[in-house]
Structure 1
Amino acid sequence: MTKIEVEKIASLTGHKDCIYTIEKGESDKVIYSAGGDGMVVKWDLNQPDLGKLVAKVENSVYALRFHQGRLLVGHNFNGIHLINPDLNKEELSTSVSNSQIFDVKSTEKNIYLACGDGTLVVLDAENLSTIAKIKVSDKSLRTIAINEADHLLVIGSSDFTVSVFDLQTLQLKDQQKAHENSVFTLAFSPDGIYLLSGGRDAKLKVWAIRQKKLELIETIAAHLFAINNIAFREDGKYFATCSMDKSIKVWDAGTFSLIKVIDKSRHAGHGTSVNKVLWSSCDTIASCSDDRTISVWKVKNL
């Protein structure tokens, strides 16, 4: 097997506090970031030194979603904002919860919010009107994964559970204790065959969902500390995980075997918790951290 090589090609700086989330934008070269300083920044990877401030809110931002040319900003304790990033203009906003918004996902017609009070909020994507509020847990909802082809909406919670809903009817179909602590991240494989989950217990779990019921396939001791995020490459051949243990790991999605570790000692990686990771393109990974930086990595020979 060809040796995988990793090169750090950019370090994006300018945030004044921990960066909690990054989101791929309108092209492979555009990403958005937000965090504890309330700043929402647009980055062009062709000009990585020139971050553009597109919004500034009062509270921390844990969740961003690029949706049909607009940016959805989950503004903790103050609802959701729809930003036009080209004009630096807020087009719509609505107050949906007095708690944190930990995740934002969307389909063509709807927006889904995972809230700190345990409520799933569903909004109309056109006007941000509320379609439904569903109390899922007494603990925080931390992550959402959607499989539109199979009509699945899956939620991970701080009560250690993973809950499966029918995407169309919003009826609960299954709920299981999935981890030994909070579930922080969920990701469907692009082909929809597998669901991956990770959380504070540092375990990576592989699930199948048959007749909208969870079936555990494999449990992997993937990191030393909490797994904060899981991201599949678009073609589904690989996925990446990032952790409170300061590392990023790249995995073969066919065998669930570890193929590369990206960390501070070997690759000038992050010095504190890595909060989110994404594939900007098939050979480029971006990550954000409590160290207030975004790192961009070129991964060769995958």
Structure 2
Amino acid sequence: MLKHSKSLSGHQNPVYALANSSRPGIFFTGGNDKGIVEWSLEKMSFSKVLMPVKTSVYSLHCYNGQLFAGLRSGEISIYDFDEQRVTTTFKAHEKPVFDLLTVPSKQELLTASEDGTVAVWSLKDLSLLYRIQVSNDTVRVIATSPETNQVAFGCKDGIVRIYDLNDYSLVQELEKHTLPVTSLQYAPDGKYLISGGRDAQLNFWSMPDYELKETITAHMFSVYGIAFHPTLPFFATASQDKSIKLWGSDNLKLYKILSIDKNTHGHTHSINKLVWSPDGKYLISTGDDKMVIAWEWE
């Protein structure tokens, strides 16, 4: 199913952020370095330092020819691929930006911060449309439903909060995790939302009512990444316990464990982010060991 393809070195410090490019075979990483790095899956190698940054990068997201970077300083930097430069950097929050996501149907950018707020920005002129006090503490992660009519925010207080994307009104609060929520993903078929937490649990919430259907102790420590395969009925999870696990999205069955503790190739420290290449051929992981690993689907 998944086998080690290549371990890529280049970062000098832990890596916290990972994103695909709109260009095939290209992805980006950022972390506690002074630059965001571009990589090539075709060459399985470092391409270049795409853009310099002054502080740690906690989140990355590509949309419409631009790369959005959320920084520890609370700023957002935007790199334009046509112009080959950073076109703007602006103060989005008073504290670090842990996640960001675009809502194409509304031409909006959502940013989530340690300050407990989510800010909504117009993609047309980057004006601030709303600032929502979602929690009294960090909002760690954002996920939008496949129909893009709802958005989920995972918070440090252990609660997943669901908002209506039309007017940003609070719809529901999902309380099951005993520690901070650290990962969120809606299933591509819209049947459920998965939340992962520092309590090592995966919770499965049915759609559209968000009824708790299943709880799995998935890892030994925090679940930092959940990524659905783009075409096949599988999803992968990554953890602070240094392992990647592959699950069936229909039956929730565990199919594969990738870990140096299981005598496979793997990370030596916490795995912080996971993403599939758009064609589903590779799973890419990165973390505190400064490594980027490409796993090939077979």
3-state SS of 2:46 partner: coil
Q: Partners of 1:42 and 1:245 in 2: how far apart?
A: 27
- Residue pairs, 1:253-264, within 5 angstroms: 253-264=249-260
Q: What SS is found at the alignment partner of 2:210?
A: strand
The one-letter code matched in structure 2 to 1:216 is L
Q: Are residue 12 (structure 1) and residue 8 (structure 2) matched?
A: yes
Report the more deviating stretch, 257-266 or 239-248. 257-266
1:28: how far off? 4.0
User: Match for 1:275 among 272, 276, 285?
Assistant: 272
Q: List gaps (5 residues or longer) in structure 2.
A: none
Unaligned runs of 5+ in 1: none
Report the counterpart of residue 233 of structure 1 in structure 2.
Answer: 229
| One-letter identity of the residue aligned with 1:269 | G
1:88 CA drift (Å): 3.9
TM-score (norm 2): 0.95
| 2-structure distance, mates of 1:23, 1:231 | 12
Counterpart of 2:158 (choices 150, 157, 160) is: 160
Report matched runs for 1:1-302 at 5 Å: 4=1, 6-85=2-81, 87-108=83-104, 109-147=107-145, 149=147, 151-210=149-208, 213-235=209-231, 237-265=233-261, 266-280=263-277, 281-300=279-298
TM-score normalised by L of structure 1: 0.94
Distance, in Å, in 2 between the alignment partners of 1:11 and 1:196 is: 28
Distance 2:249 2:255 in 1: 10
- Secondary structure, aligned partner of 1:235: coil
Q: Distance in 1 between matches of 2:236 and 2:146?
A: 22
Distance in 1 (CA, whole Å) between partners of 2:256 and 2:140 is 27
Q: Which amino acid aligns with 2:294?
A: V
Deviates more, 1:33-42 or 1:221-230: 33-42
Q: Is the 8 A contact 2:74 2:113 kept in 1?
A: no
Answer yes or no: is the 8 Å Cα contact 1:94–1:128 preserved in 2.
no
Displaced runs of 4 or more, over 4 A: none
- What is the aligned length? 294
